[in-house]
Amino acid sequence: MSDASSTSEDDIPDHLVAHFTSRIGHNSADLIEGETGSWEIVIGMEVHAQVISESKLFSGASTEFGGAPNSHVSLVDAAMPGMLPVLNIAAVRQAVRTGLGLEAQINLRSVFDRKNYFYPDLPQGYQISQFSDPIVGEGRVTVDLADGESFEVGIVRIHLEQDAGKSIHDRHPTRTYIDLNRSGVALMEIVSKPDIRSGEEAAAYLAKLRSILRYLGTCDGNMQEGSMRADVNVSVRRPGEDLGTRCEIKNVNSLRSVREAVDYEARRQIEILEEGGEIDQETRLFDADRGETRSMRSKEEAHDYRYFPDPDLLPVEIDQAFVDEIKASLPELPDAKAQRFAADFGLNAYDAGVLVAERETSEFYEAVVDPDGAKRDPKIAANWLTGDFFRRLNADDLEIADSPVSAAQLGGLLDLIADGTISGKIAKDVFDEMFDTGKDAGDIVEAKGLKQISDSGEISAIVDQIIADNPDQADEYRGGNAKVAGWFTGQVMKATQGKANPQLVNELLKRKLGG
Amino acid sequence: MALDTDTVRRIARLARIHVDDGELAPLADELNNILGWIEQLDEVDTEGVAPMTSVVEMVQRLRADEVNDGDLQEDVLANAPDPADGFFTVPKVVE
């Protein structure tokens, strides 16, 4: 393989060569200033996503995470001589479903190949994968950034392959322990074009991909358990020039690590180039504790994989009706849902993006705003959900499905604010109590006497009393110090335990003090 | 196409097969003979003939997604030289 440039790899079929970027131009904010001028980072990613299925890609053993070591293993997964792989239809269906979700071409004929290398957690001595004829071809993902901008990342291909087993290095001083429970579980490898330009964009791409896969129900996206992990290809170049030599950072398993690994690796490469050095094309490992990448020398020879069609497996042929049936069952995906939220509820792109990122959140939001046509204010609902509600979920480390406050209960609280029963400030306290006890907002307001005082006679009397008790401050106000007004409001709120209608308080203060 | 001894050494290494230096040249000759026989196939005119992936004319059969195998820890580990606590063990692999 040529190490001069990733654009001249003669020994690999055209459609597998990584892939000219379709992204033209650059955002100057993404350029990195070096000692000798600016540099552009170019990133392509290979994301390994574990397919949601009951059984493995080629055997009837369970895919369940955990379990006693080597218990979810058939003789096929353990590569006993004479065992033959039989393809799981669910894996094929999930790969097609994922392809459709990424607007990709579905290949009705695909072929499984053997990728040959030796590693203790790969009992066959080869991984069954797809090389020249993957099940899914070119597609695309639209990625949203925090500033409301978005960009497109081209998908080169998705292929199906077997996961390896797990090596455990810390159970024994001189031995590595091997558990094959994960061996043979179906993975989708989703290969992007080099259309990504910063660590931030790389993390945003991975987050968007995760969101789409979770909507589709094809991967649970659990990065901690390793259901989703990324190989990140990083190179740098002068803006507008040909692609530089890339390094591949293996098995990055969190959004934060992706961002940090890219930033570190780009700085490392720029430093080498600016000192007149050359980049070695190599595989590197990201050390999340130290925030740096380092060379994996042991993998260098492994690049000669000697792919050939697996003689144990025939070509996979599916028909268009099979694809159409899957297409008809696709859910509304995040982009379409965000557009609908913006159009129907008047939300800005950022809020809509936050609310649709997780399917469960979007469904919860819709249940708050629009239960059986009883429409609530969509912006106030969005603010509550992304504000206090998310804050409590995070603080208590809960998923939205486990929330002690249901969508109907949160709606009930919003109704009490809307009709003036309680103030927005009191509502925050009520919400916290709802979260702690699971009670309805109305019951808490009733039991604790938190109803807002909107009786102007009652507030008027309190205002009069406070003015009479504090003649100095009253004089200051009349003398033109408007800041004292806030102090008076505070005193009235204190006297009413925060229950006075704040608008009414301000009106009365103005009238009585302004004379 | 002719293999030289360096290529043979590399292939052996990739396959984790130990070959003594003295055996490389005779092995290269043997492999070149085999490749020569295979190259004779190039004399057949295959213009317009689709590549054959199997001797049987059928497509891949698919399996229903059911868990009906596994729970064989003892059998799986039966031939392993040094199992421990239900794991295979190998000399330490350090990255």
pLDDT of A20: 64
Q: What is the pLDDT of residue B30?
A: 96
Quote the pLDDT of residue A26.
55
Query: Residue B84 pairs with which residues in a beta bridge?
Result: B87
Minimum distance, in Å, between the CA of residue A452 and any CA atom of chain B? 59
A271's tokens: 């430093």
- State whether residue B66 sits within 8 Å of chain A by CB: yes
**What are the φ and ψ backbone dihedral angles of A483, each rounded to 5 degrees?**
-60, -30
Question: Contacts of residue B64 in chain A, CB cutoff 8 Å?
Answer: 89
Closest CA to A141 of A108, A114, A102: A102
Question: How many Å is the Cα radius of gyration of chain A?
Answer: 30
Residue A303, CA distances (Å) to A119, A183, B71 in order: 13, 21, 35
| A315/B89 CB distance under 8 A | no
Across the interface, whether the CB atoms of A62 and B70 are under 8 A apart is answered yes
Which fold would CATH assign to domain A456-514? Answer: Arc Repressor Mutant, subunit A (1.10.10)
Within a domain: B86? no
Full domain range(s) for residue B15? 5-42
Nearest-CB residue to A175 (from B65, B71, B90): B90
Which distant-in-sequence residues (6+ apart) come within 8 Å of B47 by Cβ? Answer: none
Q: Which two tokens stand for residue A134?
A: 């993957």
The phi, psi pair for B66, rounded to 5°, reads -130, 140
- CA gap B28, A379 in Å, rounded: 75
Q: What pLDDT, on a 0 to 100 scale, did the predictor assign at position A488? A: 86
Q: CB contact, 8 Å: A297 with chain B?
A: no
* Residue A14: per-residue pLDDT: 47
User: Would you call A97 an interface residue with chain B, using a CB distance cutoff of 8 Å?
Assistant: no
A 45-64 residues inside an 8 A Cβ radius of B? 53-55, 59-62
When divided into structural domains, chain B yields a total of 1
Cβ-based contacts of A315 with chain B (< 8 Å): 53, 59-60
Which residues of chain B are within 8 Å of residue A120 when distances are taken between CB atoms? 88, 90, 93
The DSSP secondary structure of A451-503, one letter per residue, reads --B--HHHHHHHHHHHHHH-HHHHHHHHTT-TTHHHHHHHHHHHHTTT-B-HH
pLDDT in tens, A356-409: 999 999 999 999 998 776 689 999 999 999 999 999 999 999 999 999 999 999
B93 → closest Cβ in A61, A120, A311: A120
Expressed in angstroms, the distance from the first to the final Cα of chain A is: 87
Q: What is the ipTM of this complex?
A: 0.90
A316 touches chain B (CB under 8 A): yes
CB A430 within 8 A of CB A450: yes
Helix, strand, coil percentages, rounded to 5, for chain B = 40, 10, 50
Give the residue-averaged pLDDT of A227-253: 93
Is B37 within a domain? yes
Q: What is the pLDDT of residue B95?
A: 57
- Whether B13 contacts chain A with CB within 8 A: yes
- Give the tens place of pLDDT for each residue, A269-288: 999 999 999 999 889 999 98
User: Does any CB of chain A come closer than 8 Å to the CB of residue B47?
Assistant: no
Average pLDDT score over residue span B29-45: 93
In a domain, B70, yes or no: no
In this structure, are strands A292-295 and A32-34 parallel, antiparallel, or unpaired?
Answer: unpaired
In a domain, B59, yes or no: no
Domains of chain A by residue range: 14-301, 332-448, 456-514
Tokens of A65: 């995470």
Minimum distance, in Å, between the CA of residue A282 and any CA atom of chain B: 14
Q: Which of residues 237-266 of A touch B (CB under 8 A)?
A: none
CB contact under 8 Å between A60 and B72, yes or no, is no
What is the overall mean pLDDT for chain A? 89
The answer to whether the Cβ–Cβ distance between A315 and B53 falls below 8 Å is yes
For residues B10-15, give the mean pLDDT. Answer: 90
Burial A124-136 (b: 16+ CB within 10 A, else e): bebbbbbbebbbb
User: What is the pLDDT, as a whole number, of residue A9?
Assistant: 41
Q: Does residue A21 surpass a pLDDT of 80?
A: no
For a pLDDT cut of 90, what percent of chain A falls above it? Answer: 66
Full-model pTM: 0.84
Structure tokens at A173: 């001083």
Whether A86 and chain B come into contact, CB under 8 Å, resolves to: yes
Give the pLDDT confidence of A445-463 residue by residue, as tens digits.
888 877 877 777 888 888 8
State the pLDDT at residue A461.
Answer: 85
Q: A17 pLDDT exceeds 60?
A: no
* Lowest mean per-residue pLDDT among A84-88, A360-364, B52-56: B52-56
Nearest CA in chain A to B71: A71
- Model pLDDT, residue B80: 95
Give chain A positions within 8 Å (CB) of B72.
73-75
Give the residue among A262, A226, A172, A239 at the shortest CA–CA distance from A48: A226
Rounded Cα distance between A177 and B10, Å, is 29
A274: which 2 tokens?
Answer: 């600016």
Q: Where residue B2 falls among pLDDT bands split at 50, 70, 90? A: confident
Residue A64 scores a pLDDT above 70: yes
Question: Does the residue B17 lie in any domain?
Answer: yes
Is B63 among the domain residues?
no
**Mean pLDDT, to the nearest integer, of A345-356?**
90
Between residues A17 and A150, the one the model is more confident about? A150
The reply to whether B24 falls in a domain is: yes
Query: What pLDDT shows up at residue B66?
Result: 97
Choose the closest CB to A177 out of B59, B71, B87: B87
Highest-confidence range of A30-34, A174-178, A289-293, by mean pLDDT? Answer: A174-178
Q: Of A431 and A6, which is predicted with more confidence?
A: A431
Per-residue model confidence (pLDDT) at position B24:
95
- Say whether residue B38 is in contact with chain A using an 8 A CB cutoff: no
- Top-confidence residue, A447 or B19: B19
pLDDT band at A74 (very low <50, low <70, confident <90, very high): very high
Contact between chains at A177 and B53 (C-beta distance less than 8 A): no
Question: How confident is the model over A174-215, as pLDDT tens digits?
Answer: 999 999 999 999 999 999 999 999 999 999 999 999 999 999
Mutation site, A62, A63, A64, A73, interface B, largest B CB count within 10 A: A73
Distance in Å, alpha carbon of A86 to nearest chain B alpha carbon: 6
pLDDT tens readout for residues A125-152: 999 999 999 999 999 999 988 777 889 9
The span from the CA of A100 to the CA of A91, in Å, is 14
Give the span between the Cα atoms of A173 and A77, in whole angstroms.
27
Q: Is the pLDDT of residue A298 over 60?
A: no
Banded pLDDT at A7 (limits 50, 70, 90):
very low
Q: Is pLDDT above 60 for A18?
A: no
Q: Does B95 touch chain A (CB under 8 A)?
A: yes
Which of the listed ranges A256-265, A298-307, A437-446, B6-15 does the model predict with the highest average pLDDT?
A256-265
pLDDT at A515 over 80: no
Let me know if residue B34 belongs to a domain.
yes
Q: Which of B60, B66, B92 has its CB closest to that of A176? A: B92
Interface touch B68/A177, C-beta < 8 Å: no
Confidence of residue A92 (pLDDT cuts 50, 70, 90): very high
